[in-house]
């Protein structure tokens, strides 16, 4: 299962200050902690500084790769920043975050996916903006599926993200995302799913409870990738335990190994 650590994002004030100050030690500690607690890939995002994003993102890629040997998820709305960052990537197959069903975005990102042999987050948003139902999400996913296939990109390199909106603003949004995941995992042969899980709890107290409950729901729907903070209390324990109960941990070995290593 793909577990993308989300903490290295300049929308977090401490990360932004570290990037501005070129504080490699802080960034590398963030990367190491996420991998140590279970991340199999680390997201890097410098999108809050439009003027300096290309240089900041390149710096993040180089600094993080000095600390951990997992692949990186190159996260940016700027295709040029992604292109330049990919030139520096060296630890396995990277991921691009993200394409949408908007034609302009597919036209600029899908060639980078193909040329660089990357994975890609396919965010289920289209020309009309944020989706309002499971059907809207699947419609957008289908458009991206067709775009990837037309470009000759194997579908198993795509991780479809149903777009997670806060339960505080729309009580029906979490289950619409769950149903989208279930449909894609059932009908899009070979495709994967992921999501920025913590968005579901935005604006609510005790967010950890909501995040972990939602994690169990999306796992039951078949999700095989998540974008999370693996250092969040009991997050990885919930993931490992749920996979046992869903029959996705043969002989419970991942769970048992985590206990032996003191990670539960």
Tell me whether residue 17 is in a domain.
Answer: yes
The per-residue b/e assignment along 214-225, b for 16 or more CB within 10 angstroms, e otherwise, is: bbbbbbebbbbb
Burial of 11 (0-12, 13-18, 19+ CB in 10 A): exposed
Question: CA 171, 138, 119, 77: dihedral to nearest 10 degrees?
Answer: -60
Residue with tokens 């980078």: 112
CATH number for the domain harbouring residue 166: 3.20.20.20
Answer whether the bond into residue 186 is a cis peptide, omega within 30°.
no
pLDDT for the residue 121:
98
**Other Cβ atoms within 10 Å of 149 Cβ, number:** 12
Which segments in the chain show pLDDT lower than 70? none
User: How many domains, the chain?
Assistant: 3
pLDDT for the residue 50:
87
Asked if 162 and 260 sit in the same domain, the reply is no
Residue 96 tokens, joined: 């691009």
Asked if 80 and 121 sit in the same domain, the reply is no
Q: Are 216 and 244 in contact (CB under 8 A)?
A: no
Asked if 167 and 240 sit in the same domain, the reply is no
Q: Are 126 and 105 in contact (CB under 8 A)?
A: no
Q: Which residue range forms the structural domain that includes residue 60? A: 1-92
Tell me whether residue 35 is in a domain.
Answer: yes
pLDDT for the residue 108:
97
Helix residue ranges per DSSP H, 134-172: 134-150
């Amino acid at each position: 299962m793909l577990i993308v650590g989300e903490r290295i994002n300049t929308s977090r004030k401490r990360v932004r200050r570290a990037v501005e100050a070129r504080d490699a030690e802080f960034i590398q500690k963030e990367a190491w902690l996420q991998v140590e607690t279970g991340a199999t890939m680390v997201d890097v995002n410098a999108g809050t500084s439009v003027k300096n994003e290309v240089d900041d993102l390149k710096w993040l890629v180089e600094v993080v790769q000095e600390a951990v040997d997992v692949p990186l998820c190159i996260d940016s709305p700027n295709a040029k920043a992604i292109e330049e960052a990919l030139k520096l990537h060296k630890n396995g197959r990277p991921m691009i975050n993200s394409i949408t069903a908007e034609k302009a975005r597919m036209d600029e990102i899908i060639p980078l996916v193909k040329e660089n042999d990357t994975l890609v987050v396919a965010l289920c948003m289209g020309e009309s903006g944020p989706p309002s139902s499971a059907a809207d999400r699947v419609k957008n996913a289908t458009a991206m599926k067709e775009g990837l296939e037309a470009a000759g990109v194997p579908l198993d390199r795509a991780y479809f993200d149903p777009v997670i909106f806060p339960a505080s603003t729309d009580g029906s949004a979490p289950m619409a995302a769950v149903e989208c995941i279930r449909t894609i995992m059932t009908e899009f042969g070979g495709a994967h799913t992921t999501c920025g899980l913590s968005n579901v709890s935005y604006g609510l107290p005790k967010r950890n409870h909501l995040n972990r409950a939602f994690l169990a729901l999306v796992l039951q729907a078949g999700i095989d990738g998540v974008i999370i903070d693996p250092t969040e209390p009991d997050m990885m324990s919930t993931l490992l335990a749920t996979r046992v109960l869903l029959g996705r941990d043969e002989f419970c070995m991942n769970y048992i190994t985590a206990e032996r290593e003191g990670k539960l």
